[in-house]
Structure 1
Amino acid sequence: MPISFANIPANIKVPLYWVEVDPSMAGLPTINLRALLVGVKVAAGNAAEDIPLPIGSQAQADQAFGEGSELARMFKAFFANNFANEVWGLPVAEPLAAAAATGDVTITNVPTAAGTIHLYIAGDHVPVQVATTDTIPEIADAIAAAINADVTLPVTAASVTGAVTLTSVFKSVNANDISVSLNYYGSRGGEQTPIGLGIDLPSTGFLTGGTGSPDFDNAILNLGEEPFEYVAMPYTDSNSLFAWDQEFGFTDQGRWGWQRELFGHVFSAKRGLYADLVLFGDQYNSGVESVMALEVASPSPSFEWAAAYAAKAQRALINDPARPLQALTLNQIKAAPIHERFDFVELNSLASNGLAIAKIGADNQPMIAREQTTYQTNLYGQPDDAYELVTTLATLAKLLRNQKHAITSKFPRHKLADDGTKFGAGQAIVTPGIIKAELVSEYQQDMYVGLVENLAAFKQHLIVERDPNDTNRVNVLYPPDLINQLRIFAVLAQFRLQYDRGIDSQIIGQSQPPFNAASGAS
């Protein structure tokens, strides 16, 4: 019996018609590439700590993690940038003995003209109306009331004799990234401090005193083997980055390792001065982590930058993992003022030191300029760009998933024979040559959808062979040529004020057909 049936018995006697359905040649690879946002929850949130939870709306995030918490705010930034793809939250507890961040807004003089205080907390606008009849305590009370009325803010406020003390809703070192500022859009945007009003903000422009980084060990352990492709993890201390690099890296236990084959990327963000960021980037070397550099003066917290970055990466890479992320806008993330943004030299240097960079679009919104990973050197410390860009591993993950689907669907219970073996059509037998043909066919499909190039070279270097020490094993050397991206367009504009007339005449003369004297025609 040449045809290999999986279910119908070979010795069946009962008539007449029996059929088994085989989907091995019909299916296409499908996988739900989830995002995962990781951050601190507060006691008001009802979600269990260290357990991943699917979230479908901002209301669900607020209920699960607590309004104004770090993780709830991350979801706010995520949903502003990605409304269509699946996202989960991984709430972690406030670190043991952690402290909240605080800062004071102090009123020193009453206004001489009525107006609006345009206060910004973590980039969110908090308008407060004031009149000439208001006293200093009344103005402070009004500011505190306006802040507390917006329960989505990451702070609460308390007013005492003209001073408003802001306290972060959650406790961790990232609470120090909550900004306090005035008049983000300036007079051109209709924002200016009421005349005569005296108001002092925290000297650094941010809350201070927040301490503690979460312990991610249990949270990572509880992820199990669930696939999470795009992780927004906002902590950039060495311990946090190391823990997530180990989970997603290339070791035996990592998600990119051979045992797990789950793949995925980690996105984060780091605020700092240019020199500090260069030194920071120079410390790390992970192909699975991408840390966005942002200016000190950006009002939006780094944890919201990280969530927005992951959201746009998920939305774009699901559609096409090989397309660059450049020019994708980070919606509702506020850029630093023009005079406090990184210049070209600084951006280029930051990218050269393993940090992702953003530029500012014409709409004054940040947009991804280069999705750099922190990977910079090989095992011997020599400069290497193998995993330099997020798109490299994103493309490779797509290729390997396509390949795994093809092999596991078409050859799930096959016998293995040498090339040249004569066997009946329909037999569940595979040879190295058949596998090689399948891999070439898959490569052609991958090339058609723009993931790879150079089919001829791929065929030349592809090796499929039986293992000499294990007759039941096939070894494959798979050498895809990943497609590249248009990232630099360089032009040498070699202009002239006047081409040489002699050269022009020669060119014109050479372009004319010879004259035929007999016919009088060219």
Structure 2
Amino acid sequence: MAISFDNIPATLRNPGTYIEFNNELAGASSTMFKVAVAGQRLASGSQAAGIPVRVTDPSQAMALFGQGSMLAAQCEAFLNANTDTEMWAIALDDDTNGTAAVGSITVATAPVSAGTLALYVGGVRISVGISAGDDVATVATSIAAQINAALDLPVTATSSAGVVTVTARHKGEVLNGLDLRASFYDEAMPAGLTLTFAALSGGAGNPDVAVALDAMGDEWFNWLVCPYTDTANLVQVETELGDRFGPMRQIGCRAFVAFSGTHGETGTFGSNRNNPHVTCMSTGTSPTPTYLVSAINAAVAAKSLAIDPARPLQTLVLKGMLAPSRHERWSNSERNLLLFDGISTFTVGSDGTCRIERQITMYQQNSSGLSDASYLDICTPETLERIRYEQRLMISQQYPRHKLASDGTQYGAGQAIVTPQIIRGQLLSLYRTMELKGWVEAYDGYAEKLIVERDIDDANRVNWRDTPNLVNQLRITAGKQQFII
């Protein structure tokens, strides 16, 4: 009997017709992409630190991680931009040795007429009622009361002698720079009222992101939202993601971070990093905190990359991100410089909508320290990841329990035997399929260079070397117009 059966025995004498099912040729595949969001919780949350939990609703995140917590806000920001991608959250505790950031709002002069103050804390609008007879101390007390009434805010407030002290709920560096301002949308201020603001600062001691990385284990998370940009944590992220991308684990993941600072500070930060699995969005003076921008950016990118890893992300709306003031937005030339520093950029429309301009990785140099653009755009590692997955799926699905023979072996039809030449044909067929999907191009060159052979030292092993030509993205068009008069 030449045909290889999986379940029907050869020693069968009972009369009947026996038919078994085998899915090796079915070819159907389905991938559920997943995002891990790391962030700090509050003691009021019910979820223990370091244990991944799937989150599908902002109210669920609030209960799990505490109202006003960083992680609850990250989950809400992600779900606001993307409810299609499976999201898991990993809570971290504050560093017990850390300090909380502190900022202030000083009421410089009292109002002379009643009105409503439009106050913005980290980009969140708070309305403060002002009466004509309020003195500076009364106004400060009203501001503090409204801040404390907004339980979703990442800060609490106290007031004394016309000064509102704003303190972060969490310890650590992430809330440094949290924006405090009035009238973001040019709302009218009560006449006579003037305020001065000092953004939060002095926060120190981020949690150890290794807790989140360990919690991910060998589960395949395609993307990671990381709120930390301190060197110690980034080195751990880079190391872990490099290992996950490697051939022994093959569960690659891209991390999304965000950086707030001046143009010079942002460029310096980017220039000091070099990794193809971390992408950093510059925020400039956007009122939206960096830990929320990283979540928003990951949500928007993940939704598109899951559909097509080779399609560029440019022009996608960063839903929930507020733009810097008009006079503080970086020019085209300034953004271009950042794109040479490993920093991703965004543009702002006339209506204030923030859109991805170019999503790049932080990879900038090869092992020799020379400039290298091979992993410049996030589409490159994302597409490579998908190609590898499809190749692995094809082999594991079609040849799960096959015998291996050399090319030219005269085995019976229906035998569960595979040869290097058969695998070569399957790789070529798969390449055609991926070409139709728009992931690769230049089939003839791929076929010419594809090598599939039996290992000379291990008769149970097949080796191959292929050279997929990844489809590129239309990013720049240039023309030269020679006019005639």
**Does TM, normalized by the shorter one, top 0.5?**
yes
- Distance in 1 (CA, whole Å) between partners of 2:80 and 2:52 is 21
In structure 1, distance between residues paired with 2:301 and 2:35: 10
Give the Å deviation of 1:218.
2.9
Letter in 2 for 1:198: T
Distance 2:396 2:178 in 1: 49
What SS is found at the alignment partner of 1:175? coil
1:8 aligns with 8
Partner residue in 2 for 1:195: 191
Partner of residue 390, structure 2 = 402
Code of the aligned partner of 1:87:
M
Aligned-pair distance for 1:224? Answer: 1.1
The yes-or-no answer on 1:436 pairing with 2:429 is no
How far is 1:135 from its partner? 3.2
Of 301-310 and 357-366, deviating more is 357-366
CA contact 2:57–2:76 (8 Å) conserved in 1: no
Paired with 1:413 and 1:88, the residues of 2 have a C-alpha distance of 34
TM-score of the superposition, structure 2-length normalised?
A: 0.98
Question: 2:109, 2:328 → 1: CA distance?
Answer: 29
Q: Does the alignment pair 1:173 with 2:173?
A: yes
Structure 1: distance between partners of 2:163 and 2:266: 34
Alpha-carbon distance between aligned partners in 2 of 1:216 and 1:268, rounded to the nearest angstrom: 13
* Counterpart AA for 1:483: V
1:263 and 2:256 correspond: no
SS of 2:138's partner is helix
Question: What are the within-5 Å matches in structure 2 for residues 49-448 of structure 1?
Answer: 49-186=49-186, 191-202=187-198, 206-249=199-242, 254-295=243-284, 297-448=285-436
- Aligned residue number for residue 512 of structure 1: none
Spell out, residue by residue over 1:431-480, the C-alpha distance to the aligned partner (whole angstroms, 9 max, x if none).
Answer: 11100000000000000111110110010011000011111110000211
Native 8 Å contact 2:56 2:79 kept in 1:
no
Distance 2:481 2:67 in 1: 55
State the distance in 2 between where 1:27 and 1:236 align.
42
TM-superposed deviation, 1:198? 3.0
Q: Distance in 2 between matches of 1:157 and 1:281?
A: 34
Q: Distance in 1 between matches of 2:61 and 2:27?
A: 35
Could you tell me how far 1:293 is from its partner in structure 2? 1.4
Q: Distance in 2 between matches of 1:198 and 1:373?
A: 43
Q: Distance in 2 between matches of 1:327 and 1:58?
A: 26
Structure 1 residue runs without a partner (length 5+): 498-522
Larger-gyration structure (1/2): 1
Q: What amino acid is aligned across from residue 470 of structure 2 in structure 1?
A: L
Equivalent AA in structure 1 for residue 92 of structure 2:
V
Amino acid at match of 2:219: E
Partner Cα separation in structure 2 for residue 409 and residue 243 of structure 1: 35
Counterpart-to-counterpart distance in 2, 1:217 and 1:263: 17
Residue 71 of structure 1 aligns with an amino acid whose one-letter code is L
Q: Which residue in 2 is equivalent to 1:502?
A: none
SS in 1 for 2:94: coil
Work out whether residues 113 and 133 of structure 2, in 8 Å CA contact, stay in contact via their aligned partners in 1: no
Helix, strand or coil for the counterpart of 2:200? coil
Shift, 1:315, TM fit:
0.6
The offset of 1:383, in angstroms, is 1.2
Tell whether the 8 Å contact from 2:171 to 2:206 is kept in structure 1 after alignment: no
Cα offsets for 1:3-27 (capped at 9, x unmatched) = 1001111111222122211011114
For 2:310 and 2:188, the matched residues in 1 are separated by 45
Aligned-pair CA distance for 1:66: 1.3
Structure 2 distance, partners of 1:172, 1:66, is 17
Structure 2 residue aligned with 1:518: none
Asked if the contact 1:416/1:429 (under 8 Å) is kept, the reply is yes
Aligned length: 485
Q: CA RMSD in A?
A: 1.2
Aligned-pair identity (%): 38
Query: CA offsets per residue over residues 80-139 of structure 1, 9 Å max, x none?
Result: 211222111111110131111112222233211221111100001111121212233332
Q: Does 1:29 align with 2:29?
A: yes
Q: Give the letter for the 1:310 counterpart.
A: A
Letter in 1 for 2:245: W
Task: Give the distance between the partners of 2:277 and 2:194, measured in 1 at CA.
Answer: 48
Q: Secondary structure at the match of 2:112?
A: coil
